[in-house]
Structure 1
Amino acid sequence: MMSDASSQKVRRKHPVLKVAGSFLVALAIAIIVLVFVWQWDWFVPLINRKASAALHRPVSIAHLHVSPGLRTSVTVDDLKISQPEGFEKEKADFASAKSLTVKVDVWRYLTGRGLFIPVIRMDTPRGEIISLMNGRNNYTFGDTSKDNQSASSSSTTTLPDLGEIDIQNADIHLVLAQLKTDMHVLVHTTPAQANQKGNVVVDLKGRYAQAPINGHIVGGALLSLTKPAEPYPIDGRIANGPTYVTLKGTVDDPLHFKGTKLALHFAGPDMSLLYGLTGVPVPHTPAYSITGNLGYSENAIRFQKFEGRMGSSDIGGDINVNPHLKPPFVEAALHSRSVDLADLGGFIGAKTGEAKKTAPPSKSVLPDQKINVPKLNAVNAHVTYHGDHIRNKDLPLDNIDTEFDVKDGAIDLKHLTFATGSGKISAAATLEPTKNEQFRTKFRLDISRLPLSQIMKATDTFKGEGTIGGHVTLTSTGNSVASLVANGDGGTTLVLDRGGDVTALLPDLLGLKLGSAVLSALGIPNRSRLECLVADMPLDSGILKTKSLLLQTETTRTTGTGTVNFHNDTLDYAVTTRSIHPQILSLPGAVHIFGPLSGPNILPGAELVGRVAASVGLGFLFPPAALIPTIQLGVGEGSACERAVREANTNPAAGIAPGGTTGGGASSVPHPSKAASSGKPAKRLTPAQVKKAWAQKTNPK
């Protein structure tokens, strides 16, 4: 039998057990009831508050669904992220989605095998991305400096392992004022099929860089983005206005863009239109079609071994862009096997490509296309270019070689060289930007041993030999070739040392297309052998004056006086031709050339008119007497050419004496930043020395 003490002890424990049992029953009942009445939506207000604080804009979800387990699934319905402060007037939300589902492998994470997200599913996501003209946007979250720091450190962060990514009916609307863009990016994924993974499909519609854009891009499954061992395929086609771009190939590591095997093709009417797509400014060009290999390294995006056509020229080379620098740095090594200089006109401001079609007619005879300062500031660049063979009907040069830098909006033309038979034409220049988008410019052109036969090839009329040498200098401020010349100081000094055919030479040298009518009016016979040419013409505030203009053939001597005004592109010139030897049937005298450079007027001077009138009058009275006014006794061979050459060497308008540029000596082009602005005159020769040297040149044995 149980003792009384024992029985009392049992009786004391019984109420405790009874209370504990009641608690457990109540807890079980509460759990069962909670299971039936539990709603994850109770957490919705908390989630809305936390998300709104984190994103600095109102965030709301309508419902929250959670399926706990080893693979926990979380779904939110009717996700809405409103516009931030300053963009409240926008009708659409910053972002929204009918539903967003994420599954997480909890067990794998707890066992230390990393984060695995087997499913991400988005149904009808929408986005409204806006950037205003003043630079403000709705997609910057919080402190941008912190964002930049986190972005730089995120490059070393390991991304989670992804499984299926399902996006349906995504529509991202981009409105970017500075890029003049209003376009929709439509995205959806295709399901995986037997032995074939799904794809992500992106379509572009709207306007980009003020031009219509249509694009269709197909990529591999999104989960492949995190698997470098699996090459990620890309096949895209984009039409931006008249510009057409295709990209096809694979990328081994898409997130870091490594191991690229991509063929990139550009085609369009004008390379300058690529600026909106690439951010790299290119001058106006004729129609082009180019294909090359797109690659990527840690420091540069590379467009390598590209080949194609630009106008009637071929073009190829390599372009490397370092996008990490501000501004980006572009290094281009370009070449052509055969080039037409007209295709390169955009690099000096001439209108080519679309610019030539859309630009109003120019009133200037010189290129007046303005240099775009903001575009120049968009990149720094080092460019080299070599053309093996030049095709040009007016000046059949041999080849072209150039190198220039663009840094902080300044242009440094190290050299631009044309080979011309035994001679060359070389230019160097610096253009420093000013506050009002002008350029302080120093320019120098050297002409060394330029064979006259090279100039005259296009006319098929040349007989004889001759070489030209000299210099052109310019110091100015402007923003186009036309404005630089109109505002400039400097000069031109050219000398010809041996003969040639003058039929088409004079108009070419003056830059005027006056035709054979002018030559006939000057009294210069066709196919005359040119013995001497001196052009020494200073440029003073945009007005080209004449210190000396002498052209002497075997039968005539022509001199010129007057000015060419580049402010209004007009000229006022008088050219006089005299016979060297006594001649009959010659009507000498001044010919006035005046008016616009594009179409000047040509009138005979008073002496020529008087001689013609006298000849006609005497012809009525006594026909043989009509020959009297046409008899010219001649000026004699004299020393006019000697004096002109001596003066050109002693005090040249260009500031640099011709020196040996017309003979055996080579002419180099000191860089404008290293050369004196005025140059040093050649050593003064005595008249006898000049006469002797010139006689040897003009009368070779």
Structure 2
Amino acid sequence: MAEEIVRPKPSRALGTPLASTIAAITTILGLIVLAWTILFVTKGRFLKGPFERIVAAQTHRQVKVAGDFQLYLNPFNVKFVAEGFSISNPEWAGHGNFFEARRIDSRISTWSLITGNRRINWLGLIDGHADLQWDKDGKRNTWTFSEEKGEPLDLPVIRRAIVQGTMIRYVDPRMQIEAGIRVQTVEAKDTQFANAINFDGNGTVRGTRFTMNGALLTPNATVAGGQNKLKLHAEGVRTQIDVSGTLPGATEIEGADLRMDMRGQNLADVFALLGVAVPDTRGYRLTSALTKQEIEWRFTDLTGRFGASDLAGRMTVAMTQPRLMLTADLATRTLDIVDAGPFIGYSPSQSVAGKSALVQRVGGTPRILPDAPLRVEALRNFDAKVNWTVRNVRAENLPVSNIKLGLTLDDRLLTLDPLNFSLARGTVSSEISINARRQPVFTEYDIRLSPTPMGVLLAGFGVEESGTTGTLKARIQMTGSGNSVRDSLASSNGRIAVILPKGAFWTRNVQLSELDLGVFVQKMFEKKLKEPVQINCGLIGFTVRNGIAAADPILIDTEKNVMLGRGGFSFKNESIDLAFRADGKKFSLFSAQSPVGINGYFAAPGISVLSPELIARAGAGLGLGVVASPLAAIIAFVDVGDAKAADCGPVLAGASARAQRTEKGKPRDDVGRGTTAKSESGKQSGAERQQQRKKFLGIF
């Protein structure tokens, strides 16, 4: 056999795959260079038709370029030039164009187009017009080109710009805003600025006219891309606002470093433009740092004054849906009582400083309950969470301090929890719920006064401090319907109870009320007015029905007397008709025993010491003195001392009159159903109750 010849296989060149890769890359680069060269030479003018069709298809709008068109890389930025450029409005926005310009000349960062950051390094805009509109439902706008829900306006970052003859129109039916702004670049010489973009305009917000003007100032040091200085001045609704600082870019508000100075006659005017209801104020001036982070406008380092009060803290307005969200942490060192009035419904324009700061007149009658209506419609526009602390309250004879307020508003449900403050050396703790989801507004009150030294409390209200060990505590639980505090209380139902535990009081403060004239005169001549009188227990209770409070009961047990009260007061017209009498436990030669009346109004109470019963007894005494002897005249004022001491258990529990007992455990026959009982069982017939109601509550 012939020997088989084995021939080696031809070897492949090791560089062939690398050469192929290099060849492919070179081809691609060559094509890119060729395309770039063609575009650069032709300026991309041949892309005008495809540009109009593609953009129109993506935006669902009519897109036209009436004049010159350029689109190419120059050398790395995308250069876009269009003359007679326009994009139409969507059908719902009416006729006209969303945007049009006589000429646009721009340099767009190629890398930003890849990453989606949208940065324009240069923009020249001549005779532009932008029509920025929201629809009436707030679901669509003219600048969101997709069929989805309209997005907030998000302009590309513009590093440098020259703008001439440009108008911007903005319309938002929900916020009731319509504005027109003119923008014009002013070339500056021999200054630190290369140019300034000035703007001015006017419009209306919720029917109120405003004007504005300002400028974007670009320092030479940041021409290549950096911070832009902003100056803005706006006037309207009796308010002036100045904003100054720096922006990251000419159209970039996010992360701006700004300062705001706002002053005016009423802070509520400004918030009303946002549809936010806040209490009225007197003249104010506030300054703060201002910046924007996503949907939040943040006001930090806030300081200033309103009226005669100071204010500091921080506030955030978040443009959330369906309602904007207002949050704030505020602090006040000194709050003037006149400035505090509007927070509970008083008008600062109708109040005057001093004792009458919270007193107004209605038809010649002094009134103290506030009647400013709650702005229910405005509560639909926002939610809120506010914390506010007040160290001192400047008010004559009103010992209030250390206020702590927590306010939460959630879809028209307004909660004040806590609403706490110091009263003398006691603490008032409150939880108040105002439900504006119901009409009329439904309010629940729960107000508690912790045990408070009576002497300190009296001293705080202008009465000479008694130095007593006596204390008191109280609670108010009521509900009412109405769109103001006055209307709510005028329809209220619930209970009011003031409890006096065991303690000592000055004779001067107690004995006059008891009208034990013999003891008082004796101590007056012996100069023992400061000798304490022992209070065993006491309850000043009222049951409130449909705005009328009836004593239920008024019962104070002292060492020597039992003080009883009957009558009541009305939240409807703020009138008072109360009668007090003291029955002695021991024999007293001179004792009035007859009722002492408290009448008048909340704002102007009066005391009637010479009640008809007392005058009748004095007449009887005078008659006896004439007919018999001077000694007989004293008989009419003798107190035989048969008052029944109270069981302090039901008294200290704040129980109603029906649950009260004597110290021997028997039902009391001298209190009942808000009036003084006439029967031994403590019950009255309907005719008797009606007769007493006419006598003691006749003013209702």
Q: Please classify the TM superposition score into its range, dividing by the shorter chain length.
A: 0.5 to 0.7
Contact kept, 8 Å, 1:101 with 1:119, in 2: the verdict is no
Cα shift readout 1:566-614 (whole Å, capped 9, x = no counterpart): 2444444334466786355x76533556676556787765423434555
Q: Which residue in the other structure is 1:9 paired with?
A: none
Contact kept, 8 Å, 1:286 with 1:354, in 2: the verdict is no
One-letter identity of the residue aligned with 1:610: A
- Cα distance, 1:535 vs. partner? 0.5
Q: Which residue in the other structure is 1:560 paired with?
A: 565
Q: Which residue in the other structure is 2:449 paired with?
A: 446
- Cα distance, 1:352 vs. partner? 3.6
Distance 2:318 2:460 in 1: 45
Could you state the TM-score of these two structures normalised by the residue count of structure 2? Answer: 0.68
Instruction: Sort the Cα spacing of 1:225 and 1:464 in 2 relative to 1 into closer, same or farther, 3 A.
Output: same
- Cα distance, 1:538 vs. partner? 1.7
Distance 1:201 1:458 in 2: 59
Contact kept, 8 Å, 1:398 with 1:418, in 2: the verdict is yes
Which sections of structure 1, spanning at least 5 residues, go unmatched?
1-39, 507-515, 656-680, 689-701
Q: Which residue in the other structure is 2:417 paired with?
A: 414
- Cα distance, 1:209 vs. partner? 3.4
Is 1:166 matched up with 2:162? yes
Pick one of 530, 541, 550 that aligns with 2:546.
Answer: 541
Pick one of 494, 499, 502 that aligns with 1:495.
Answer: 499
One-letter identity of the residue aligned with 1:145: E
Q: Using CA pairs under 8 Å that are at least 6 residues apart, name the structure with larger relative contact order, 1 or 2.
A: 1
- Cα distance, 1:539 vs. partner? 1.9
Pick one of 186, 210, 213 that aligns with 1:213.
Answer: 210
Distance 1:291 1:349 in 2: 26
One-letter identity of the residue aligned with 1:495: I
Instruction: Sort the Cα spacing of 1:488 and 1:116 in 2 relative to 1 into closer, same or farther, 3 A.
Output: closer
Pick one of 458, 462, 474 that aligns with 2:478.
Answer: 474
Aligned 1:595-606 pairs, distance under 5 A: 597=602, 605-606=611-612
Is 1:309 matched up with 2:310? no
Q: Which residue in the other structure is 1:335 paired with?
A: 331
- Cα distance, 1:45 vs. partner? 10
Cα shift readout 1:427-453 (whole Å, capped 9, x = no counterpart): 123344434362353524233234432
- Cα distance, 1:163 vs. partner? 6.3
DSSP 3-state at the match of 2:595: strand
Pick one of 194, 199, 202 that aligns with 2:196.
Answer: 199
Instruction: Sort the Cα spacing of 1:637 and 1:480 in 2 relative to 1 into closer, same or farther, 3 A.
Output: farther
DSSP 3-state at the match of 1:145: coil
Instruction: Sort the Cα spacing of 1:119 and 1:106 in 2 relative to 1 into closer, same or farther, 3 A.
Output: closer
Between the two proteins, the alignment pairs up a number of residues equal to 594
Contact kept, 8 Å, 1:390 with 1:397, in 2: the verdict is yes
Pick one of 182, 186, 211 that aligns with 1:186.
Answer: 182
Q: Which residue in the other structure is 1:285 paired with?
A: 281
Contact kept, 8 Å, 1:269 with 1:287, in 2: the verdict is yes
Contact kept, 8 Å, 1:284 with 1:355, in 2: the verdict is no
Distance 2:60 2:640 in 1: 92
Contact kept, 8 Å, 2:140 with 2:149, in 1: the verdict is no
Instruction: Sort the Cα spacing of 1:52 and 1:612 in 2 relative to 1 into closer, same or farther, 3 A.
Output: farther
Distance 1:181 1:502 in 2: 67
One-letter identity of the residue aligned with 1:283: P
Distance 1:181 1:209 in 2: 6
- Cα distance, 1:241 vs. partner? 1.4
Pick one of 608, 632, 636 that aligns with 2:637.
Answer: 632
Aligned 1:45-194 pairs, distance under 5 A: 63-66=66-69, 74-77=81-84, 85=91, 93=96, 99-103=102-106, 120-126=123-129, 139=142, 143-145=146-148, 147-148=150-151, 164-174=160-170, 176-191=172-187, 193=189
Which structure features the higher share of helix residues?
1
- Cα distance, 1:99 vs. partner? 1.7
Contact kept, 8 Å, 1:211 with 1:241, in 2: the verdict is yes
Contact kept, 8 Å, 1:570 with 1:597, in 2: the verdict is yes
Distance 2:406 2:269 in 1: 23
One-letter identity of the residue aligned with 1:233: K
Aligned 1:661-680 pairs, distance under 5 A: none
Cα shift readout 1:615-665 (whole Å, capped 9, x = no counterpart): 77789x68985992795213649555x34x43333453599xxxxxxxxxx
Contact kept, 8 Å, 2:426 with 2:449, in 1: the verdict is no
- Cα distance, 1:494 vs. partner? 1.0
Distance 1:464 1:562 in 2: 31
Contact kept, 8 Å, 1:189 with 1:201, in 2: the verdict is yes
Q: Which residue in the other structure is 2:230 paired with?
A: 234
Instruction: Sort the Cα spacing of 1:107 and 1:126 in 2 relative to 1 into closer, same or farther, 3 A.
Output: closer
One-letter identity of the residue aligned with 2:207: Q
Aligned 1:611-630 pairs, distance under 5 A: 611=617, 628=633
One-letter identity of the residue aligned with 2:209: P
One-letter identity of the residue aligned with 1:167: V
Aligned 1:683-694 pairs, distance under 5 A: none
One-letter identity of the residue aligned with 2:588: P
CA RMSD of aligned residues (A): 5.3
Distance 2:67 2:351 in 1: 57
One-letter identity of the residue aligned with 2:476: V
- Cα distance, 1:325 vs. partner? 6.3
Contact kept, 8 Å, 1:274 with 1:282, in 2: the verdict is no
Is 1:607 matched up with 2:610? no
Distance 1:473 1:315 in 2: 32
One-letter identity of the residue aligned with 1:407: D
Aligned 1:228-267 pairs, distance under 5 A: 230-252=226-248, 257=253, 259-267=255-263
Cα shift readout 1:60-93 (whole Å, capped 9, x = no counterpart): 77x413478876674434x6777654665x8xx4
Instruction: Sort the Cα spacing of 1:627 and 1:135 in 2 relative to 1 into closer, same or farther, 3 A.
Output: farther
Q: Which residue in the other structure is 1:386 paired with?
A: 389
Distance 1:594 1:422 in 2: 29
- Cα distance, 1:546 vs. partner? 1.0
Distance 1:651 1:225 in 2: 74
DSSP 3-state at the match of 2:195: coil
Distance 2:233 2:495 in 1: 52
Instruction: Sort the Cα spacing of 1:184 and 1:255 in 2 relative to 1 into closer, same or farther, 3 A.
Output: closer
Instruction: Sort the Cα spacing of 1:76 and 1:345 in 2 relative to 1 into closer, same or farther, 3 A.
Output: same
Contact kept, 8 Å, 1:163 with 1:223, in 2: the verdict is no
One-letter identity of the residue aligned with 1:76: E
Contact kept, 8 Å, 1:404 with 1:414, in 2: the verdict is yes
- Cα distance, 1:132 vs. partner? 7.3
DSSP 3-state at the match of 1:199: strand
Contact kept, 8 Å, 1:490 with 1:654, in 2: the verdict is no
Could you state the TM-score of these two structures normalised by the residue count of structure 1? Answer: 0.68
DSSP 3-state at the match of 1:484: helix
DSSP 3-state at the match of 2:212: strand
Distance 1:531 1:109 in 2: 86
